[in-house]
Amino acid sequence: MFKLEPDGFAAIAPLFDNLSLRHGSVRAVLRDPSLGDIWVDDLASPRQAILRGPEGLYLAGDPRSDLGGLAGEIEDWEYVYPDEPWLPAIGEVLPNRFMIAHDRVRLALDAGRARSFAVPDGFELVADSQSVEVSIIHAGEVVSRCSVDMVVDGYAEFGVWTHPAYRGRGLAKAAAAASLHRAGEQGVTAFGWHCYASNTRSQTVAKALGFEVTDRYLGFAARVPAENDGDLDTAYCRELAATFEAGASEIVWLDFHAAVAWVLAGEPGKAVTTVERLVERGWWGKTEWLEQHWALERLKADPRFQGALNAHRATR
């Protein structure tokens, strides 16, 4: 594969037509090459292309051509979004056999149709002065936030987070509604919202705001496709934990995701054991990734988990 110079991005754009309709990240890189890069199989007459953007890696073009070199161009840890024609051949392209299919959903909304929601009593809405991001504060702490993942050509993609202890109070809807309103005032005319198909809570918030499901698609990664407790059933989480543990003998960092899967399967002891093994094997990641992961946070009271964190921190 050959890296394409920025002045060639416009010519290659038609290969990404379908992916551009779905992903703001693709649009953004094609619009501003400083946000990513593109690799092609032939500089003179490209048939296949890889785009690396802020939100992942995207496969476009003709998968019927020689695929031999593609797997070597994709890193084990990357999140891969293939155009639909690539799906029958995806096994030949992914860099390891532990990358699994993730069902995903895209929802969309025109700016003029966004609904409003009031902030509940006792909470304060705070808007960022440099962006359209909005936070909700309670007792001096941020308990909900809506941020923009991508803005390009009047289109923006949003994400929302609420602290588990404050869910079910309408905070996510209030934060997102305020952020959408601010974006509309700044010229954004169309909104997008992506999440795992398993994340019904996120979809419920989006639909309450007026979003509608426009697309269902697949992403591929060696990680657990969940963003909340209860997104996946425990049997599947155990299956994922076993799969990632098996893979960790080849790719050490898979134990990180095995630990996440064990937590979601209701097996915190196995999760801690997996974290200990991850640290012992010399994992290169940041200690904060373990401390701040939404699923692993519940292990903080376990002395063994704290011991593993301290051991890892000492090696940094």
What's the average model confidence in pLDDT over 48-58? 94
Q: Where are the domains of the chain?
A: 2-98, 107-216, 224-315
- Residue 164, pLDDT score: 87
Phi, psi of 118 (to 5 degrees): -80, 155
- Residue 71, pLDDT score: 63
Same fold, 2-98 and 107-216: yes
Task: Place 67 in a pLDDT band, splitting at 50, 70 and 90.
Answer: low
Query: Residues 220-252, buried b or exposed e (16+ Cβ, 10 A)?
Result: bbbbbbbbbeebbeeebbbebbebbbebbeeeb
Q: Which of these, 235, 195, 234, 202, lies nearest to 217 by C-alpha position?
A: 195
Fold category of 107-216 in CATH: Aminopeptidase (3.40.630)
User: Could you tell me which residue, 82 or 65, shows the higher pLDDT?
Assistant: 82
Task: Place 114 in a pLDDT band, splitting at 50, 70 and 90.
Answer: confident
Report domain 2-98's class: alpha beta
- Span 207-257, pLDDT tens digits: 999 999 999 999 999 999 999 989 999 999 999 999 999 999 999 999 999
pTM confidence score: 0.92
Query: CA 194 from chain center: how many Å?
Result: 9
- Span 3-34, pLDDT tens digits: 999 999 999 999 999 999 999 999 999 999 99
**C-beta of residue 41 within 8 angstroms of C-beta of residue 65:** yes
